[in-house]
């Protein structure tokens, strides 16, 4: 072997070593060891690193991987679920804004998976600029989960965005679920409860807003 | 004899004299009668109430009002239920929020062990065992939760996954097992 070739190999080795110290390999999430199949663990770690780099919460991704492992899912299925959730978290963060909290982003991702559009989350953010959106976005996802069409659920949640607080959102969701349990169709239950909630909010509004109030039935 | 006859004539004469009666006598007598307890009166009153209760009346109820009444009845039935409803005799009972402390409850009469698994405990089946709280039927555990949205499920005897029917279901079931969701708002 020629002397120059040896020096070239040595130089490459040094450069590679330096790169290794400057750009470390994906950090391994210790909770995934011994639980998630070895074959996909490094890929999941890469997704986690990417999430952290993009400023979206990585903890829900770890949770999703652990859920899959605990439920006996295959490595491929777990990896697909983690990647899908990462994309939804990113979309939710983009829709809600970079100042969003982790719970808001997670709830927003649930709403997107349920079928809400990013524009729905943007509307919620603009209408409730000074309030957390976690409950509102979660209620949207929960309504879809019990059978309300996504666009209808989104419209209802947005309609309540101005006047309803978190407690009222939760009460609204529970009432709709209860009516569905009693046999009402999801859309009918939502319509009835939305009217009742809107009316209650309307009557609870300050007196200054009474000029726009509808006439009350005797 | 003559003496007896004269006494009898005097008595007859007294009886034949007109008698003046107090004009308010009738009223006073009737008042006395009405004040006396009448035998069978309470029965009449009971029958009157029964008749009032049984008499049909038209009732006007708005659809929303009717729905609210039906929902109230259902809530009483559901919340008051203490028996399992599923075929295998195992059914979650209720979930109540108490600030940041969340209570999870399940009715599992045939279970030997029940654990709560979810996003809050790394889905570790041994992390949050549930405790028997009533007559070998009701299992419960209360854990603190920070703001967020958590997926969870009940794991019965290490092999049966149950969702919580009193909580919103997981909309998508990516891993083929049931699950529920609880959301804690930010304060």
pLDDT tens digits for range B132-142 = 987 768 999 99
Cα dihedral sign for B158, B161, B163, B165? negative
User: What gap in Å lies between CA B155 and CA B120, rounded to an integer?
Assistant: 15
The larger pLDDT score, comparing residue B84 to residue B75, is at B75
Q: For B106-129, write each residue's pLDDT tens digit.
A: 988 889 999 999 999 999 999 999
Q: Tell me, what's the pLDDT at B30?
A: 74
> 3-class DSSP state for residue A117?
coil
Judge contact between A139 and A107, C-beta under 8 A. no
Residue B74 has pLDDT above 80, yes or no: no
B138 or B79: whose pLDDT is higher? B138
Which is nearest to A35 in space by CA: A80, A2, A76, A66? A66
Which stretches within chain A are classed as H helix? 3-22, 38-54, 59-70, 75-96, 102-114, 118-127, 134-145, 150-159, 166-181, 186-203
Predicted local confidence at residue B3, as pLDDT: 74
Is the distance from CB of A168 to CB of A197 less than 8 angstroms? yes
The 3-class SS string of B6-67 reads: HHHHHHHHHHHCCCCCCCCHHHHHHHHHHHCCCCCHHHHHHHHHHHHHHCCCCCCCCHHHHH
Indicate if the pLDDT at residue A212 is higher than 50.
Answer: no
Q: Sort out which chain B residues have CB atoms less than 8 A from A113's CB and list them.
A: 171-172
- Among A23-27, A28-32, B66-70, which range has the highest average pLDDT? A28-32
Residue A2 banded pLDDT, cuts 50, 70, 90: low
Phi–psi pair at B106, nearest 5 degrees:
-145, 145
How do residues A40-77 score in pLDDT, each as one tens digit? 999 999 999 999 999 999 999 999 999 999 999 999 99
Nearest CA in chain A to B178: A71
Which tokens belong to B3?
């003496």
Average pLDDT over residues A161-178: 91
CB contact under 8 Å between A73 and B168, yes or no, is: no
Cα distance between residue B56 and residue B44, in whole Å: 20
pLDDT at residue B71 greater than cutoff 70 = no
Provide the shortest C-alpha distance from residue B115 to chain A (in Å): 13
Contacts of A112 in chain B (CB under 8 A): none
Out of A3-17, B80-94, B95-109, least confident range: B80-94
A184 and B64: CB-CB below 8 Å? no
CA B121 to each of CA A6, A134, B128: distance values in angstroms, whole numbers, following the listed order: 54, 21, 7
Share of chain A above pLDDT 90, in %: 69
pLDDT score for A108: 96
Beta carbons within 8 Å of B66's beta carbon, 6+ residues apart: none
Q: What mean pLDDT do residues B158-179 have?
A: 88
Quote the DSSP letter at residue B1: -
Q: State yes or no: pLDDT of A135 exceeds 80.
A: yes
Least confident of A8-22, B25-39, B50-64, B127-141: A8-22
Average pLDDT over residues B151-180: 90
- CA atoms within 13 A of residue B35's CA, in its CB half-sphere: 6
Whether residue B84 is predicted with pLDDT greater than 60 in this model: the reply is no
Question: Which of these ranges, A40-49, A106-115, B20-29, has the smallest mean pLDDT?
Answer: B20-29
Residue of B nearest to A57 (CA): B148
Categorize the per-residue pLDDT at A203 as very low, low, confident or very high, splitting at 50, 70 and 90. Answer: low
Quick one: pLDDT at residue A207? 40
pLDDT at res. B66: 65
A109 pLDDT higher than 80: yes
> What is the pTM (predicted TM-score) of this model?
0.66
**A101/A99 Cα distance (integer angstroms):** 7
First to last CA, chain A: 103
H/E stretch holding B132: strand B131-134
Portion of chain A with pLDDT greater than 70, in percent: 80
pLDDT (mean) for A75-96: 97
**How far is the C-alpha of A38 from the C-alpha of A33, rounded, in Å?**
8
- Highest CATH level, class, for B79-184: mainly beta
pLDDT score recorded for residue B75: 46
Q: CB–CB of A63 and B119 under 8 A?
A: yes
**Pair B120, B145: CB distance under 8 Å:** yes
Residue B69: closest CA among A164, A178, A199, A194: A178
Cβ contact B148–A192 (<8 Å): no
| Digit-coded pLDDT (tens) for B88-100 | 333 333 333 435 7
Give the pLDDT confidence score for residue B13 in this predicted structure.
79
Question: In angstroms, rounded to a whole number, what is the distance separating the alpha carbons of residues A20 and A214?
Answer: 69
Tell me the range of A91-95, A142-146, B104-108 where mean pLDDT is highest. Answer: A91-95
Report the chain B residue with the minimal C-alpha distance to residue A193: B64
Q: Which of A63, A67, A173 to mutate to test the interface with B (most CBs of B within 10 A)?
A: A67
Beta-bridged to residue B118, according to DSSP, are B152
Residue A175 has pLDDT above 70, yes or no: yes
**Mean of per-residue pLDDT scores for chain A:** 85
């Amino acid at each position: 072997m020629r002397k120059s070739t040896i020096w070239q190999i040595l130089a490459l080795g040094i450069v590679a070593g330096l790169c290794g110290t400057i750009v470390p390999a994906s950090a391994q999430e210790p909770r995934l060891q011994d639980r998630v199949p070895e074959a996909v663990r490094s890929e999941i770690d890469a997704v986690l690193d990417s999430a952290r780099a993009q400023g979206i919460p990585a903890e829900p991704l770890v949770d999703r991987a652990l859920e899959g492992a605990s439920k006996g899912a295959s490595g491929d299925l777990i990896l697909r679920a983690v990647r899908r959730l990462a994309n939804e978290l990113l979309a939710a963060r983009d829709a809600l804004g970079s100042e969003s909290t982790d719970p808001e982003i997670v709830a927003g991702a649930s709403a997107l998976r349920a079928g809400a559009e990013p524009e729905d989350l943007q509307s919620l953010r603009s209408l409730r600029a000074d309030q957390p959106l976690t409950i509102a976005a979660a209620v949207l996802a929960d309504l879809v989960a019990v059978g309300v069409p996504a666009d209808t659920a989104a419209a209802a949640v947005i309609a309540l965005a101005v006047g309803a607080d978190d407690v009222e959102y939760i009460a609204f969701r529970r009432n709709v679920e209860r009516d569905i349990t009693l046999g009402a169709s999801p859309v009918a239950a939502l319509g009835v409860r939305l009217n009742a909630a809107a009316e209650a909010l309307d009557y609870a509004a300050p007196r200054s807003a009474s000029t726009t109030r509808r006439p009350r039935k005797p | 004899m003559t003496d007896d006859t004269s006494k009898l004539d005097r008595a007859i004469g007294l009886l034949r004299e007109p008698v003046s009666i107090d004009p308010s006598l009738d009223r006073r007598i009737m008042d006395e009668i009405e004040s006396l307890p009448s035998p069978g009166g309470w029965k009449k009153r009971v029958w009157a109430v029964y008749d009032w209760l049984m008499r049909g009346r038209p009732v006007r109820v708005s659809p929303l009002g009717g729905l609210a009444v039906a929902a109230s009845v259902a809530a009483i039935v559901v919340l008051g239920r203490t028996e399992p409803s599923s075929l295998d005799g195992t059914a979650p009972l209720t979930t109540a929020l108490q600030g940041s402390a969340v209570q999870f409850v399940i009715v599992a009469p045939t279970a030997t062990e029940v654990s709560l698994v979810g996003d809050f405990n790394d889905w570790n089946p041994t992390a949050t065992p549930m405790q028997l709280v009533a007559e070998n039927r009701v299992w419960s555990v209360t854990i603190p939760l920070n703001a967020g949205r958590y997926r969870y499920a009940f794991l019965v005897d290490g092999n049966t996954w149950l969702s919580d029917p009193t909580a919103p279901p997981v909309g998508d079931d990516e891993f083929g097992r049931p699950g529920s969701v609880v959301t804690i708002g930010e304060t």
